[in-house]
Amino acid sequence: MNANKDLSQIHDEKPERTKLLAQERQLCILDALVQQGSISVSCVAAELDVSDMTIRRDLVELETEGKLVRIHGGAVLPENSTPVAMDREEPSFSTRLICQSEAKARIATVAADIACGYLTVALDVGTTTYLMAEKLLERNRMKIFTNSVRIAHRMSCGAPDIYLAGGHMRGDEMSMGGPTAIAQFEQLWFDVAFIGISGLTASGFYDYSFEDVDLKRIYLSRSGYKVVLCDSSKFQRMSLVNIAPLQGVDMLITESSPPPAIALALEAARIKVVIAPPLPEPC
């Protein structure tokens, strides 16, 4: 064995390992800030089993990036976020389909491209997932599982196999829910799930309907990869039901960068944020 070569390898690997540890620490710091609103150097250092000086260096770096504000003995979140708004009534499907239509089309295009890499795809109810479904009509070998009657009907003349949950249909949304739908889909395992939401805050994802949320949670618990579709009008908005905390979702597709409080929470939850590019101009 070449001792010089081994020493060289160790020298090359050491900085990379140190950098990885710093990134892990800083994610823990951001997560604590999102959950608590403030942190102390001594508490974080004890929790992570590192020195106070190490945490202070992390705070300096995170403050330089605009992710926190240092105070004596600790740090707090920046005070530059818009307040959270409460949505109390669910707009009709047709109204929501028109609202933010360009943004939703951008998000749906990116989501459809991602879906094409999988065989079993769960599509939640919603206007963005409906637009996404239209872009998957020619996909052979793909199996689509949904609780949206609209999506199932729209894709009935396409190439994918469509599986629609049974149960009770909810009015204008034309979504299937209830014990029968849950019992059917909780026995399955999907390669990927695409989830629609009505609101997103640092506390998690929101929706209007108890019945629809039951199926969203099934998709999240029974999928190998979890993608949330959310246009920017839903940032810092909440509604009746909290679907889930941010942790556990793999990707968020949107058309505009989230505000600071949400961006920090998404980073702490290790969610990949994809900004959908503008659609190409028509020829």
Question: How far is it, in rounded angstroms, from Cα 146 to Cα 175?
Answer: 9
Question: Where is average pLDDT lowest: 22-31, 91-100, 131-140, 243-252?
Answer: 22-31
Predicted TM-score (pTM) of this structure:
0.81
Instruction: Look at 60-64, 115-119, 209-213, 273-277 and tell me which has the smallest mean pLDDT.
Output: 60-64
Mean pLDDT, range 76-93, rounded to an integer: 82
DSSP 8-state secondary structure symbol assigned to residue 79: S
Percent of the chain with pLDDT strictly greater than 90:
68
Residue 160: closest CA among 189, 130, 134: 134
Of 28-42, 129-143, 222-236, the least confident: 28-42
Each residue of 42-82: pLDDT tens digit? 999 999 989 999 999 999 998 888 888 888 888 988 766 66
Structure tokens at 143: 């199996």
Number of C-beta neighbours around residue 86 at 10 A: 10
Among the residue ranges 3-7, 84-88, 210-214, the one predicted with the least confidence is 3-7
Domain boundaries, the chain: 3-76, 85-275
In this prediction, residue 81 carries a pLDDT of 62
Which is higher by pLDDT, 227 or 240?
A: 227
Closest C-alpha to 191, from 116, 104, 248: 116
CATH 3.90.1300.10 at 85-275, yes or no: no
Q: Give helix 3-36 / helix 41-48 axis angle, nearest 10°.
A: 130
Segment 154-207, tens digit of pLDDT:
999 888 999 999 999 999 999 999 999 999 999 999 999 999 999 999 889 999
Burial class (CB in 10 A: 0-12, 13-18, 19+), 217: middle
At the topology level of CATH, where does 3-76 sit?
A: Arc Repressor Mutant, subunit A (1.10.10)
Average confidence score pLDDT of the chain: 89
Distance CA 120, CA 127 (A): 21
Provide mean pLDDT across the span 98-124.
Answer: 97
